[in-house]
Amino acid sequence: YPSLRDAVATVIIEAMGAGLPIICLDKTGPAQVLNHQTGVVIQPGNIQKTVDSLASAIILLVSDPSLRQQMGKTAQKTAAKEHTWDVRAKAMLKVYSDAGVDVDDN
């Protein structure tokens, strides 16, 4: 079932890797991996405002194939550059290193 608290945003990164533009709520994980070039981040409000904003974002991407394709290409490049396992591992090693844990990154 859908969740408003996806802390990891793995499905977002997978969709980006497949070249899809993303529409998500500005909540925790998903919004942290996007920018205005890779998708549309919706500011959640009351239910009607949120639904209207999601509908507007869908209509925008459906009605503008060029924008949709450009966002998808940028999303794919971003996923390939910033969200690989290698990048994630290096980030995790940095967390441990910053915490004073001796890590061997070889």
The amino acid at residue 34 is: L
For residue range 48-104, list pLDDT tens digits in order.
999 999 999 999 999 999 999 999 999 999 999 988 888 888 888 988 989 988 877
Looking at domain 10-98, its CATH superfamily turns out to be: Glycogen Phosphorylase B; (3.40.50.2000)
The amino acid at residue 13 is: I
- Eight-class DSSP state of 83: S
For residue range 16-55, list pLDDT tens digits in order.
999 999 998 887 677 778 888 999 999 888 899 999 999 9
> Which CA distances in Å does 41 have to 20, 53, 95?
14, 9, 27
pTM for this entry = 0.74
Alpha-carbon distance 89 to 97, whole Å?
Answer: 12
What are the residue ranges spanned by the domains of the chain?
Answer: 10-98
Q: What's the token pair of residue 51? A: 């639904």
